[in-house]
Structure formats: structure tokens, C-alpha cells
Structure 1
Amino acid sequence: MKYSYSAMILISILITQWVCEARDFDFFYFVQQWPGSYCDTKKSCCYPTIGKPDSDFGIHGLWPNYKDGSYPSNCDPDSPFNPSEISDLSGRMRKSWPSLACPSSNGLGFWTHEWEKHGTCSESVLDQRAYFQAALDLKKQADLLKFLTDAEIHPDDEFYSLESIKKAIEEGSGYSAWIECNKDESGNSQLYQVYMCVDSSGSEFIQCPIFPHGKCDSQIQFPSF
């Protein structure tokens, strides 16, 4: 099939516009997960090859999002994950961004997925190393376990009100958070993931323009790990 010169120009413009739109975004969700809740399900978990992670929230991801609730993904297939780009961060990555998926792994598969699905959509502001560095720095700013324990909310298998958890995180960080729950083997709702919002530079927390869908019970369990 042959195209006229003007048609080819139009196609080129549309492709360029699509690529630009795919890489443009409004903010990030910075998501941390509680390992006790990941493991305390029928699916269970597998510890990393280096051993059981610390009893602390671990990074799940730094995800570009739009204010309408949608998000870009897999934006650049020509930008594969390259472990050498973050070789100097590997110790911090294993500690703060462990994989609990089975079978046990060194985390590279998890980090590959996060970069290729989410990180490539932020390349206009963060290259691969800067993307992972930004997430590690944000975790240092948002010490969720400290915020919660300062409010006498502990990972002790007890139940706490959802509102008290939200309040503790907001008082500790200065910003509101969205709580995602999952179910343990007995069907109890438990604290699973915490979403906080970050500006499009990946450096500063902001108040969330929109939260994900879903809800927790009014009383949720904070399982031990």
C-alpha cells in the first residue's frame, strides 16, 4: 500500500504525538508494601536468595500516573533494564526493594519488571539510575514503620482502625496516604500496601490528586513478620 507524502507526514506526526503523550504524566504513586501481609495469604511467599528481609515496609514501585486515574505503561521497549546502571545501588536495592515472589530470587526480575513497565514512562525526567535512586530516597523520607509505631501501631497481629493508620502516616509525613488491604488465609482484612503521591520530578511528596479504587474494612490487621 502506497501513501502520499502528506499522509506519511500526518502518520509521523500522530506517532510522535502518541509517543510524547505516552511519556507525559502528572504525578507518581510511590508504593510500599508490608512483607507480613504479602506472605500471610494462601499464596504465601518466598524469601530472597540472600535471606529473610528486614521487618520493614519494602518498595513495590514508583509509578507514573495521570490525574484522571489512568496511567502509561511499557513506554519504551528499546530501553531494557540494565543491572550495570544501578550496580552501586544494589546493596540498598536488596534491602529496601526485595522480591517476595516465588521462586526465591535476587530481585533482578522484579526490578526489570518495574523499570520496563513503569520506569520507561518516566524517562523524560528520570533515567534508569535516577529512577531507582529516586525511589530509594523517597523511602528514606517516608519511614512508614516509624510513623506507625510512633502512634502505637505495631506489627503484632492486632487489629487497628483504618483511620488511625491513615492519621499516623499523615502526621508523620505531612501527606495523606491511600491504604490497600489484602486478605489472610482466614479472610481477615490486613494492611498490605501504602500509596503516597510524588511530583513529576520524582523528588517531592505531594497531596494526591486522585486515589486508586478499592476499600479496606474499618478495622484491619497489622500482621507480624
Structure 2
Amino acid sequence: MFIPGANLIPSLLIPALGISGLSGLQEQLSQCPRPPVTSCSADAGGADSCCVVTPGGVLVHAQFWDLGYGVADSWGIHGLWPDKCDGTFYENCDSSRAYSGGQITQLLQDSGNQDLLDYMNTYWIPNNNNPEAFWAHEWATHGTCVSTLEPNCIANYQEGAEVVPYLKTVVGVFQGLDTYKALTSAGITPSHTKTYRLDELLQAVESATSYVPDFVCKGKTLSTVQYYLNAVGPLQNGQFLPSHATRKSSCPSTGIKWPPKELGN
């Protein structure tokens, strides 16, 4: 199942959301400046926060490799986190919009996004196998901090109208940054015996995506990859450019392990 997204190197472009019942978001986009303002740029400081992601202008997209969960030939979605341009970050920005997992599922279904919900239930699942709680955590912790999705930015706002655009954007970014394909296309494959150098992992992903990620290891075993993006216009506009890293890799320079997933064991 594919939720439309396209990687236009070096930018990342996710086609229009096309979410029914959210005309208020389209009205917002029509009122933002053209060309759109890029987050963390010189123009971002004076721009309307409904039209540029601020102050969390570096979007960290994290994917994880959980050995017993998800899809064997794909990394899993962790989230999309708005770090500030200086590398600091903030979380849990609006407890009044901390919707439950059940509410999020209902919002997806009511807005005609069953395909998106099915995709999330396949690729956006945690290692405790409670995806609804995970989505609720990611939304409350990070989604509520996206300035362009605040209720005052949406004409004729109705409760929860901002959630589906955030989720769809996260999924679109994930699909545009296919870590598994980037690595395996360079001959880097999951293995119980092989080990890899950090520089060859980085080169493989940069060559495939034009994004320079960092990798996080548990000991010497790969666990997470993080990409850094700037949003061009509102987050839900779906346009991104590579950004500077705000976090650091924890993997050693050599001897990195990438074991295959052991699903169903």
C-alpha cells in the first residue's frame, strides 16, 4: 500500500494532502507568501508562524530498526520532531490537544483515510505492539509543537483537524527517505555475520537521498537513523530541503552490526 510521496533530490516533495473536510488548511496555504519561506532561513524570524515552522525549524525524521517488529525489508517510522534551529528542542506544547490513540484512529477513519491508517498499522508500530498509544505519544510530544498546525492557523477550526495532516506528512517523509533501499542498493544488507563502517552507511544514504543522516547504535548494533529537514512553507505543504544535523551519531566508526529482523519467532 502506498501513500503518495516523491523524493525529488535534493528536495523532498509530498503531493497535496487531499484530505476531505479540511478546507481550512487549504485556505491557510493560499494566504501564505509565494515563494514560501523556508524554516531556519533568514526570512523565517519575521514570518507568520502559520506559514513557516518556527521556532522548531529543523524537522528530525527518525526511523528505527526493531528486530522483532514491523516489516522485514523496511525500517519503521518513529516520528517527525521539530527541533529549534540552534539544536535545542521543546516538547508537549499543548496538553489540551493531546488526543488519545482511539481518537486519532477515529479522526483518520472519519476523514476518509483508512488507507493511511492501514499503512500506519504496518510501518508505524512500536516494540510494545501498541501503535495507537505510540501515535498519541508522538502527536502530543512533537506534533503539538508544529506552529503551522496550531488551531488559529486553520480557518473554521474543528477539534482534531490538525492531526491527520501531521500524520500524513510523517508518512510521506518516511516513504521519500527509504533507508532500507538506500543501504541495500549499495550492497549493505542485514546480516548475522557482516559488519560495516559508519562512513559507508552514511555515503550510501547520502548518495541515494541527498540527505546526510546520523545513525544511532545500541552498542555496535544499528537501532535508529535520523534525517534533518527544513520545511518550505507550512509543514503540511509537504515540501522539504536537507538541513543541518542537530543531534549526533552514537555508532562506532567500524564494526557496526545490522542484523536481520526475526519476525514471527
TM range, smaller chain: 0.7 to 0.9
Partner of 1:14: none
User: Which residue among 189, 193, 197 is the counterpart of 2:224?
Assistant: 193
Partner of 1:60: 78
User: Which residue among 46, 57, 74 is the counterpart of 1:26?
Assistant: 57
User: In structure 1, what is the Cα distance between the partners aligned to 2:190 and 2:57?
Assistant: 34
Partner of 1:76: 94
Contact 1:68 1:210 in 2 (8 A): no
Contact 2:230 2:242 in 1 (8 A): no
**Distance change in 2, residues 1:215/1:142 (3 Å):** same
Runs of 4+ more than 4 Å apart: none
Deviation at 1:205, TM superposition (A): 4.0
**Distance change in 2, residues 1:99/1:31 (3 Å):** same
Contact 2:55 2:85 in 1 (8 A): no
**In the alignment, is residue 86 of structure 1 matched against residue 108 of structure 2?**
yes
User: In structure 1, what is the Cα distance between the partners aligned to 2:191 and 2:240?
Assistant: 29
User: In structure 2, what is the Cα distance between the partners aligned to 1:99 and 1:208?
Assistant: 27
Partner of 1:207: 242
**Distance change in 2, residues 1:23/1:128 (3 Å):** farther
Structure 2 counterpart of 1:213, which letter? K
Partner of 2:7: none
**Distance change in 2, residues 1:23/1:117 (3 Å):** farther
Deviation at 1:209, TM superposition (A): 2.1
**In the alignment, is residue 99 of structure 1 matched against residue 126 of structure 2?**
yes
Structure 2 counterpart of 1:70, which letter? T
User: In structure 1, what is the Cα distance between the partners aligned to 2:198 and 2:107?
Assistant: 39
> What count of residue pairs does the alignment treat as equivalent?
183
Partner of 2:215: 179
Query: What do the CA deviations read for 1:145-175 (whole angstroms, capped 9, x no partner)?
Result: 0110000000112211111000000001011
User: Which residue among 168, 175, 194 is the counterpart of 1:133?
Assistant: 168
After superposition, the CA RMSD in angstroms is: 2.0
Deviation at 1:193, TM superposition (A): 0.8
Provide the identity percentage: 26
Query: What do the CA deviations read for 1:104-157 (whole angstroms, capped 9, x no partner)?
Result: 42x111011000000000152472111100011111111110110000000112
In structure 1, stretches of 5+ residues that fail to align are 1-19, 40-46, 48-52, 184-188
Structure 1 counterpart of 2:134, which letter? F
> Which has the larger Rg?
1
Contact 1:33 1:57 in 2 (8 A): yes
Partner of 2:144: 120
Partner SS for 1:108: helix
Please give the TM-score of this superposition, normalised by the length of structure 1: 0.75
**Distance change in 2, residues 1:116/1:139 (3 Å):** same
In structure 2, stretches of 5+ residues that fail to align are 1-48, 151-161
Partner of 1:12: none
